[in-house]
A and B are shown apart, each in its own frame.
Chain A
Amino acid sequence: MAARPGPGVGELVLLEKLLGLPKGSKYGVQGERKIPVLQTNSGPGLTGIMTIAAYLVKQAKKEQLLGSTAEEKAVVQQWLEYRVTQVDGSSSKEDTRIILKDLNIHLEDKVYLAGNVFTLADILMYYGLHHIMVDLTVQEKEKYLNVSRWFNHIQHYPGVRQHLSNVVFIKNRLYTNAH
């Protein structure tokens, strides 16, 4: 677990840059799981990735990233929660497999996690899955075809990827007779 930087402060800094916010926010971490804490001018600060990310989006006046309708907002909330509970909580290969399977089914008929609009859920899910996607074999990428399509789309979204490595996806399917 110690080997990879996220989940946490790192991706929030990436998000700040993506949103075009000025640098200089002060972050701390809390507890054994190193939950990020953002020092704000007022009050005791904000705790947790979802919470801080939503705050940053509002600071940048890009509320559309949180969804426009009640339904979109709830869906974004749902996938942010999925990201911090399921993806960040995954520890075994089996967990990873289930997550990729879940997402693959969900993305079967969607461009983005919340349907047809790009939201904060896509951004944080991309940061959260990056270390998993980097290690997938070509065959696994084909197996989770919808996840691969979505991931490739998000990593090419302007400003999202930043210094993270580009994950390569092959256009032509190699394992055509995969059942």
Chain B
Amino acid sequence: MQLRVPVRGPAALKVLAAAGAAAAPVQLVWGGPSEPPRAPLRPPWAPALELDSGTVLFSPNAICQFFFLTRGDEPTDLSNQWLEWEATELQPAATAALYARLVLGRTALEAAQGLGKLLTHIEQSLARRGAAFLAGDTPSVADVVVWGTLFPILQDENSLPSELQALRTWFQSMTLLEACRDAADSVLMPKALLEFKSYLQKQPPPCLAMQRATSNEPEEEEGSERALTEEEIAAAADAWARGAAALPKPWQPQKPVLPVEGMRNVLITSALPYVNNVPHLGNIIGCVLSADTFARYCRLRNWNTLYVCGTDEYGTATETKAVEEGLTPQEICNKYHTIHADIYRWFDISFDCFGRTTTPSQTTIAQDIFQRLLARGFLLQDTVEQLRCEGCQRFLADRFVEGTCPFCSYEEARGDQCDKCGKLINAVELKNPQCKLCRGVPTVKPTQHLFLDLPKVSLIPGGVQRGWGTPGTTAHPCVLPQPSWRSGWRPGWSSPGPQATGRPMLATSPAPGSGMGSNRAASLATSSGAHRCPSMASVTRWLQPGPSVAVPVPGALLGGPHAQPVTLSPQVFYVWFDAPIGYLSITANYTDQWERWWKNPQQVELYNFMAKDNVPFHSVIFPCSLLGADDNYTLVNHLIATEYLNYEDGKFSKSRGVGVFGDMAKDTGIPADIWRFYLLYLRPEGQDSAFSWSDLMLKNNSELLNNLGNFINRAGMFVCKFFGGTVPNMVLTPDDKRLLARVTLELRQYHQLLEKVRIREALRCILSISRHGNQYIQVNEPWKRIKGDEKDRQHAGTVTGVAVNMASLLAVMLQPYMPSVSLAIQGQLCIPPDSFVLSHDFTCTLPPGHRVGTVSPLFQKLENDRVEALRRRFGGGQPEDLAVEPQAKQTPSASQPPPAPETLMAPIDSQRLQELTQEVARQGNHVRQLKANKAEKAQIDMEVAKLLELKKQLALAEGKSPEVSVPKGKQKK
């Protein structure tokens, strides 16, 4: 039996006293627990009794009870009642009293007064029963438990008010008991109390259940927040006082950006968008926008950052699109590269370089990696079955085949994926396959391809773990967790024995279960929604020779040391072999020293951003290619993937015209920053999320306009209106310091989240800060105090100064999310560029005397009609059908001309509103009277019709849509 008393806290007192009273054979262990007991988490100062059976008692009262039971003292109703009372009533009050005594430095008498009614309760019980002890004439478990709780506060009976005579006597006789005296001597030496004090100081002040119940303060949201400790408040005030001088100098990297020795060098890539289409909002949030936000954050942290992206222009889809639009593949690439670049420029994406894959560097680097893989024996040749169209005389790429989906029987499934059920398909499994070009029926033919030998790559010493072994690898719902990489993949790979017989190169064929590799790949991909990934490690593909369609496999293949001579010649790299190499080639086109980024794993930290469907390629195929090439390549350290963004209740679909696409966003008239904000606000972290127009309006109007914009604008306006545009002097009160600590807490949280690339959650911290700011202004009312006496005016100045500094902090924190708005705030408040950097502290960057510029509103309200119009415009076919049909049935009057839109948007005329309200009331009374008098039905109907008409007018005047729904015209464009 072992009694652990981690810190010599007061709870140990009763436990030791009980053990002493029961003369229990207990082994006492001072100090911290060697391992956490397998019991629910207790405060670290609570004792724990480990019984020989392995049971752990963690409740001090239960431990006392146990000791008395071993002595043969059975609990009575009365002792039970005292124990329950102690746990539910006395304990919470005593903790608060102890805090008052030790931390706040109150005297024992004052602390005892805080216990007020509870002490009276003990006094009355003792007096009424006339017994010497709580549950009888001898000391019981009840006495020890209650005494043990009171002793640290009172120390001796003289701290008790003299009118509590019975209590004083009882307390004195308890303290004189040998067991209690011994316990007090060993636990409550002055030093132990100090230890306990330092522990209490780090805790939020205890909040009293009873205080809460009797307090008349309105329950605010504050209740759910963590309480601040005195230390935190003092630290925040210190940091504030240090001012802007304490901030690091913003880092201005040389162009081109290259890794710098001794700095944190961050290389960020976002998945290369494919050129055959216009990106939709989901694509934008999935990679380029998320990566941009993070890149901007990194730069604000003074990390040396390079952000590369570009268009992926090779592959079968380009070819398909070229056929569709009647252009050459090169023309298609040029056209769409420009479209993409324009869209990203509009969204203010801060690429260091935005390139393309159709460059000579791409060919050089891809072929170099290929040659190195080949030379090292990591490429294998094998036969797979592929569809061949005899009419076109060619093997068909997946996208050139259409047929019936083997899973859901959708008839227009593509050769690689079914648009209906979303599952990945192996083209040879399609039912009724058709050549997309000539509509002929293709046949399954064996063909030779090259594959990356994954098991062999995995054997490279230290290789597979290299990139992932870094401590602090980002944990992300969609990121491969380290364990699954190590335990899940490696065993399967490193023993190419039984599992892999007959097909030594794993992950080659799309057929299910054909190799360990593809199963592994499947299990990896399942978590991200994909089911199987055909041709996982394929390196080559057949394609019509075309200058811009693909990178040709070098001729070395034909006579390569490990490959059999290949009889069919126009072979090119498979998209997933060469597309990620685009990151390297685009960097190479940015700077000829690209290898300092890409062959420098010691200095460079690589972040890959993508949507979940790209995870297998970036986590396995690409790193394995680089590993196999054995050229000291930089491997991914953090793989950041998003789930999917849906549109309203469905998917984005270009062909059905559903959803907002990149090039249309600017036509909506909604500023890019609002789009950025909303997309980041619902960034699909953890699970799919959905874009919704009404939600966009709500978030704009509530979070941006009413919360963030309102706060920043008010803070600036107060400086201009009350202090002539100069930041006033500030004299911080404890309440102000509390706010500083609260803001610091949010700022730290923001850093913590962004360091883990939790972009969406970090945005909430910004909004919390401005919410605190609004409350702060609201509570302190500087506009009233400015008219008051000297002291009030000083306070108004302090509040205004703190608020405008919060606005300045928000401008910096907001920069990764809304760069233009951030710039606007910077301009309005004249924030010095040297303060435009993020640290972990909230300091005073706009000191007294700083002059602000002209302050104007940052955001505009989005009106319902406008958003509704946009929803209709981008909704696609279905929502419109739904909207029209039921209306046609319900309201025959739908053919009436709709009210002019002006009526709907007319400003509210309050006088007219009043008149109408009165008229409605009068008419309503009139109708009721008629009904009461049993008037003729026709007459009632007529008056009711009048009433309805009036109500409709009233609704219109109030700016609501009238009850009788009328289709709003004009929106079709």
Interface residues of B in 54-83 (CB under 8 A from A): 55, 57-59, 61-63, 65-66, 69-70, 75, 77, 80-81, 83
Contact A70 B213 (CB under 8 A): no
Known contacts A48-B84, A102-B40, A105-B40; is-contact A71 B59 (Cβ 8 Å): no
Contact A71 B84 (CB under 8 A): no
Contact A74 B39 (CB under 8 A): no
Interface presence of B51 (CB below 8 A): yes
Separation in Å of the B42 CB from the closest CB of chain A?
10
Contact B69 A70 (CB under 8 A): yes
Interface residues of B in 472-494 (CB under 8 A from A): 481
Separation in Å of the A91 CB from the closest CB of chain B?
8
Which residues from chain A contact B213 at a C-beta distance below 8 Å?
32-33
Which residues from chain A contact B88 at a C-beta distance below 8 Å?
35, 48, 84-85
Contact A77 B83 (CB under 8 A): yes
Separation in Å of the A60 CB from the closest CB of chain B?
14
Contact A74 B65 (CB under 8 A): yes
A4 to B222, CA, bound (A): 24
Interface centre among B61, B214, B223, B527 (most CB of A within 10 A): B61
Contact A48 B81 (CB under 8 A): yes
A50 to B41, CA, bound (A): 22
Interface presence of A73 (CB below 8 A): yes
Known contacts A74-B62, A102-B41; is-contact A84 B57 (Cβ 8 Å): no
Contact of A85 among B81, B87, B224 (CB under 8 A): B87
A70 to B65, CA, bound (A): 9
Contact of B65 among A35, A51, A77, A179 (CB under 8 A): A77
Interface residues of A in 5-64 (CB under 8 A from B): 32-33, 35, 44, 46-51, 54-55
Closest residue of chain A to B125, judged by CB?
A44
A38 to B38, CA, bound (A): 36
Closest residue of chain A to B59, judged by CB?
A78
A41 to B214, CA, bound (A): 34
B87-98 CB mask vs A (1 if < 8 Å, else 0) is 110010000000
Separation in Å of the A67 CB from the closest CB of chain B?
9
A82 to B481, CA, bound (A): 36
Closest residue of chain A to B72, judged by CB?
A70
Separation in Å of the A58 CB from the closest CB of chain B?
8
Contact A103 B87 (CB under 8 A): no
Separation in Å of the B433 CB from the closest CB of chain A?
34
A106 to B39, CA, bound (A): 6
Closest residue of chain B to A50, judged by CB?
B84
Contact B224 A92 (CB under 8 A): yes
Which residues from chain A contact B51 at a C-beta distance below 8 Å?
71
A49 to B81, CA, bound (A): 9
Which residues from chain A contact B75 at a C-beta distance below 8 Å?
54, 73, 77
A136 to B91, CA, bound (A): 31
Interface presence of B209 (CB below 8 A): yes
Interface presence of A117 (CB below 8 A): no
Contact A75 B55 (CB under 8 A): yes
Interface residues of B in 674-728 (CB under 8 A from A): none
Which residues from chain B contact A78 at a C-beta distance below 8 Å?
57-59, 61-62
Interface presence of A177 (CB below 8 A): yes
Which residues from chain B contact A46 at a C-beta distance below 8 Å?
77, 81
Closest residue of chain A to B483, judged by CB?
A179
Which residues from chain B contact A55 at a C-beta distance below 8 Å?
77, 80
A78 to B39, CA, bound (A): 11
Known contacts A32-B213, A54-B80, A102-B40; is-contact A47 B63 (Cβ 8 Å): no
A74 to B141, CA, bound (A): 12
Separation in Å of the A141 CB from the closest CB of chain B?
19
Interface presence of B53 (CB below 8 A): yes
Interface presence of B30 (CB below 8 A): no
Contact A74 B66 (CB under 8 A): yes
Known contacts A51-B77, A70-B66, A71-B55; is-contact A106 B61 (Cβ 8 Å): no
Interface presence of B85 (CB below 8 A): yes
Closest residue of chain B to A105, judged by CB?
B40
Known contacts A85-B87, A92-B224, A105-B38; is-contact A74 B57 (Cβ 8 Å): yes
Contact of B40 among A35, A89, A94, A106 (CB under 8 A): A106
Closest residue of chain B to A38, judged by CB?
B77
A94 to B84, CA, bound (A): 24
Contact A77 B59 (CB under 8 A): yes
A143 to B91, CA, bound (A): 32
Separation in Å of the B122 CB from the closest CB of chain A?
14
A106 to B75, CA, bound (A): 25
Contact A177 B527 (CB under 8 A): yes
Separation in Å of the B478 CB from the closest CB of chain A?
12
Which residues from chain A contact B87 at a C-beta distance below 8 Å?
81, 84-85
Contact A81 B61 (CB under 8 A): yes
Contact A73 B65 (CB under 8 A): yes
A50 to B53, CA, bound (A): 26
Which residues from chain A contact B59 at a C-beta distance below 8 Å?
77-78, 81-82
Closest residue of chain A to B210, judged by CB?
A32
Closest residue of chain A to B39, judged by CB?
A106
Which residues from chain A contact B77 at a C-beta distance below 8 Å?
46, 51, 54-55
Contact A71 B85 (CB under 8 A): no
A55 to B87, CA, bound (A): 18
Closest residue of chain B to A49, judged by CB?
B84
Contact of B70 among A70, A105, A179 (CB under 8 A): A70
A15 to B70, CA, bound (A): 29
A54 to B75, CA, bound (A): 10
Contact A47 B85 (CB under 8 A): yes
A98 to B65, CA, bound (A): 26
Closest residue of chain A to B53, judged by CB?
A71
Which residues from chain B contact A32 at a C-beta distance below 8 Å?
210, 213-214
Contact B62 A75 (CB under 8 A): yes
Closest residue of chain A to B63, judged by CB?
A74
Interface residues of B in 195-221 (CB under 8 A from A): 209-210, 213-214
A54 to B80, CA, bound (A): 8
Which residues from chain B contact A103 at a C-beta distance below 8 Å?
40
A89 to B207, CA, bound (A): 12
Interface centre among A35, A77, A98 (most CB of B within 10 A): A77
Separation in Å of the A54 CB from the closest CB of chain B?
5
A105 to B209, CA, bound (A): 27
Interface centre among A46, A54, A78, A84 (most CB of B within 10 A): A78
Known contacts A46-B81, A48-B88; is-contact A73 B40 (Cβ 8 Å): no
Which residues from chain B contact A94 at a C-beta distance below 8 Å?
224
Which residues from chain A contact B55 at a C-beta distance below 8 Å?
71, 75, 115
Which residues from chain A contact B85 at a C-beta distance below 8 Å?
47-48
Which residues from chain A contact B224 at a C-beta distance below 8 Å?
92, 94
A92 to B226, CA, bound (A): 12
A51 to B210, CA, bound (A): 21
Which residues from chain B contact A177 at a C-beta distance below 8 Å?
527
Separation in Å of the B531 CB from the closest CB of chain A?
14
A82 to B40, CA, bound (A): 10
A47 to B63, CA, bound (A): 22
Which residues from chain A contact B481 at a C-beta distance below 8 Å?
179
Which residues from chain B contact A47 at a C-beta distance below 8 Å?
81, 84-85
Contact of B84 among A81, A102, A105 (CB under 8 A): A81
Which residues from chain A contact B84 at a C-beta distance below 8 Å?
47-51, 81, 84
Report, nearest first, the 9 A-B pairs whose CB atoms are least far apart: A102-B40, A78-B62, A74-B66, A70-B69, A48-B84, A51-B81, A78-B59, A50-B84, A51-B80
Instruction: Known pairs A50-B83, A78-B58, A98-B41; list 19 more (Cβ under 8 Å).
Output: A32-B213, A32-B214, A33-B213, A44-B128, A47-B84, A48-B85, A51-B77, A54-B80, A73-B65, A74-B66, A75-B55, A77-B62, A81-B87, A85-B87, A102-B40, A105-B38, A105-B40, A177-B527, A179-B481
Q: List 20 A-B contacts (CB under 8 A).
A: A32-B210, A32-B213, A33-B209, A35-B88, A48-B84, A48-B85, A51-B80, A51-B84, A55-B77, A70-B70, A73-B69, A74-B65, A77-B75, A78-B57, A81-B83, A81-B84, A92-B224, A94-B224, A102-B40, A105-B40
A-contacting residues of B (Cβ < 8 Å)? Answer: 38-41, 51, 53, 55, 57-59, 61-63, 65-66, 69-70, 75, 77, 80-81, 83-85, 87-88, 91, 128, 209-210, 213-214, 223-224, 481, 527
